């Protein structure tokens, strides 16, 4: 009832003598309001719409064909207006044929040639119109889009998502595994136009596809997609040459992450798991012609421990030195540095709860930042 009252009030205002717009625009504006209220009752969301006049005409005609199209749109979630140009072209062809007939063209060949020329003329126009097919999508069932991260490596993307989680604070959730980094943050943190909206959206970076999957409500998906796509593009330029590009409107919170992205690129998860890029490949043969003295073996063991700790950031050379100590000096084979509870788990079957339990503790920098926020709030 409220919608009907609102439409009547707008109609009274537009049809008043002081209205500054023309008659056609008045009808179009009222029809648009009626159409919008109909869409709201259907629970539909418009991601893209044609011109105001076309949308008003398509949604408010009482003819059987538009009604059937609208009914089909309610079932199929897509309202296709691409047939309208072809119908107009067909009507124009009939109109030209009637004009030709009224001129009493007696020559059948000339009459056929004129009809063919008319059809070609309007077929070309219809084709151009159809190539720009007009459609309205009802995306109540759409919940996910993907954004490419070309030009950024895994470490940079994990660092970006972990930094956003640190800025979002307690409201964010990070889920990590060896192939994905999933971040859940409030909608209001992504764009300030949704201030007060604590709905969580999900950003999932996949290592194999180099894509960020965005999961959000249909009403927010367009804005979130545009915001994240612009942020990733700006991050790529920022990492590539220090160039600063503008972010999407409303990205005030996301912009706070960029000063932290200039140096010290690292991932708390990768640092905690200590995944090495080079597989352990020690020699199969062990030295047998070595002294049996216990002091000798203790010395070799100490050298092995020092080498392992000192060359932690250089896995290739560490493995090479370990191999020499094993094959020539009779040292014991070292254990793989990766913790056992990571090696024993199948990452493909890793649940979100298990992944959360594997997430490393917060860094000192994150703890200091949280302490500052708590002090400010107090």
When comparing pLDDT for 276 and 304, which is higher?
A: 304
| Complete DSSP assignment for 286-337 | ---SS---HHHHHHHHHHHHHHHHHTTT-HHHHHHHHHHHHHHH-PPPPPPS
When comparing pLDDT for 270 and 377, which is higher?
A: 270
Q: Which residue is it, tokens 């960020």?
A: 212
Sheet of 144-148, strand order: 144-148, 211-215, 200-206, 180-186, 173-176
- With residue 353 as reference, give the H or E element that holds it: helix 352-358
What average pLDDT does the segment 302-316 reach? Answer: 80
Token pair of 186 as six digits: 């409030």
- According to DSSP, the β-strands at 144-148 and 173-176 are unpaired
Tell me the C-alpha distance between 182 and 212, whole Å: 9
Q: How do residues 39-95 score in pLDDT, each as one tens digit? A: 666 666 554 444 555 555 555 554 545 555 555 555 555 555 555 556 566 667 777
Q: Read off the DSSP letter of residue 257.
A: T
Q: How do residues 162-204 score in pLDDT, each as one tens digit? A: 888 888 887 788 888 888 899 998 888 888 888 888 888 899 9
What average pLDDT does the segment 300-327 reach? Answer: 80
Taking the model in full, what pTM does it have? 0.41
Tell me the C-alpha distance between 53 and 32, whole Å: 8
Structural domain boundaries of the chain? 2-137, 144-272
Across 297-311, 313-327, 356-370, which has the greatest mean pLDDT?
Answer: 297-311
């Amino acid at each position: 009832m409220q919608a009907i009252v609102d439409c009547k009030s707008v109609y009274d205002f537009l049809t008043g003598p002081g209205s500054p717009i023309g008659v056609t625009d008045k009808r179009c504006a009222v029809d648009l309001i009626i159409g919008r209220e109909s869409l709201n009752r259907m629970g539909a969301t418009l991601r893209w719409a044609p011109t105001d006049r076309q949308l008003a005409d398509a949604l408010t005609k009482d003819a059987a064909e538009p009604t059937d199209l609208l009914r089909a749109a309610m079932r199929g979630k897509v309202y296709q207006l691409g047939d309208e140009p072809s119908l107009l072209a067909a009507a124009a062809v009939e109109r030209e044929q009637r004009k030709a007939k009224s001129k009493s063209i007696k020559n059948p060949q000339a009459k056929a040639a004129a009809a063919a020329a008319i059809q070609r003329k309007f077929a070309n126009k219809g084709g151009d119109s159809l190539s720009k097919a007009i459609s309205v999508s009802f995306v109540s069932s759409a919940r996910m889009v993907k954004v490419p991260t070309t030009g950024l490596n895994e470490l940079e993307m994990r660092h970006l998502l972990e930094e956003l989680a640190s800025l979002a604070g307690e409201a964010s959730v990070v889920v990590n595994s060896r192939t994905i980094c999933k971040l859940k943050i409030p909608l209001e943190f992504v764009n300030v136009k949704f201030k007060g909206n604590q709905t969580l959206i999900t950003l999932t970076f996949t290592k194999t596809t180099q894509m960020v999957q965005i999961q959000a409500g249909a009403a927010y998906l367009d804005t979130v997609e545009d915001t994240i796509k612009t942020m990733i593009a700006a991050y790529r330029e920022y990492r590539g040459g220090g160039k600063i590009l503008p972010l999407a409107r409303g990205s005030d919170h996301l912009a706070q992450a960029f000063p932290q992205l200039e140096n010290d690129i690292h991932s708390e998860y990768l640092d905690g798991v200590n995944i090495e890029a080079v597989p352990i490949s020690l020699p199969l043969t062990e030295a047998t012609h070595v002294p049996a003295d216990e002091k000798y073996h203790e010395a070799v063991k100490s050298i092995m421990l020092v080498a392992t700790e000192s060359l932690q950031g250089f896995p290739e050379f560490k493995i090479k030195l370990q191999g020499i100590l094993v094959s020539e000096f009779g040292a014991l084979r070292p254990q793989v540095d990766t913790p056992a509870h990571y090696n024993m788990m199948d990452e493909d079957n890793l649940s979100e709860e298990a992944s959360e339990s594997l997430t490393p503790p917060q860094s000192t920098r994150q703890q200091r930042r949280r302490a500052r926020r708590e002090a400010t709030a107090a």
